[in-house]
Amino acid sequence: MIKKINFLFVTLFGIGKIDKIPGSIASLITTIFLFFLFHILKISPNFVLTFVIIIFFISLYAVNIFIKDFDNKDPKEVVIDEFIGQSIPICLYEIAHEGTKETSQVLTFYFLMFILFRIFDIAKPYPVSYYDKNFKNSFGVIMDDVAAGLYVVAVLVLYMVITT
């Protein structure tokens, strides 16, 4: 029972078992899910960010349990890291822009955050690549996506500074 719950957690309810591009699908579903939380249910971004931080710490343990018998220490089935990494820029965007926003502007930024996160997660510029190559455990699995998410934040902050 515990093993099944852990499987559902690290694969984001089985999304990681999808044959083609499970990481991109997990990121897209995360983006849509967060839009729903923030703009339909009107849940506080501070609350969601706190939840993501809790998920981060639980993931460190859960992913280690899941990958212990794998030769590949970053199997494609594990997509909870995409949830965490994709959530970081979206939550920080919502915190920085709390209040009423044009839906078209929000959708544009969500789309950009999704695309940028996928680019950084796949291309793995330093330090994303550092975590991916040097930590063959849950820390490496998760931190490369956290670093990719922080790259997205840096790009968006730079964009906002330049355009305002």
Mean pLDDT of the 101-119 span: 95
129: nearest Cα among 114, 145, 112, 117: 145
Q: Is the pLDDT of residue 1 over 80?
A: yes
Q: Under a CB-based contact definition with an 8 Å cutoff, are residues 118 and 30 in contact?
A: no
How many residues belong to the chain? 164
Q: Any residues with CB less than 8 A from the CB of 76 and at least 6 apart, and which?
A: 16, 22, 23
Q: Residue 74: how many CA atoms within 13 Å on its side-chain side?
A: 17
Q: What is the pLDDT of residue 162?
A: 94
Q: Which residue has the higher pLDDT, 100 or 51?
A: 51
Q: What is the pLDDT of residue 99?
A: 76
The first and second tokens of residue 23, run together, are 């990481």
The first and second tokens of residue 99, run together, are 């209040």
Mean pLDDT of the 14-28 span: 96
pLDDT digits (tens, 9 = 90+) for 41-83: 999 999 999 999 999 999 999 999 999 887 777 789 999 999 9
Report how far apart, in Å, the C-alpha atoms of 148 and of each of 4, 117, 152 are: 29, 6, 7
23: nearest Cα among 71, 66, 59, 77: 77
Mean pLDDT of the 103-108 span: 94
> Quick count: other Cβ atoms within 10 Å of Cβ 95?
13
The first and second tokens of residue 101, run together, are 């926003």
Kindly tell me the sign of the dihedral angle through the C-alpha atoms of 154, 93, 161, 156. positive
Mean pLDDT of the 102-109 span: 94
Q: Is the pLDDT of residue 86 over 90?
A: yes
Domain region containing 132: 2-163
Q: How many domains does the chain have?
A: 1
Q: Under a CB-based contact definition with an 8 Å cutoff, are residues 110 and 23 in contact?
A: no
Q: How far apart are CA 15 and CA 78, in angstroms?
A: 9
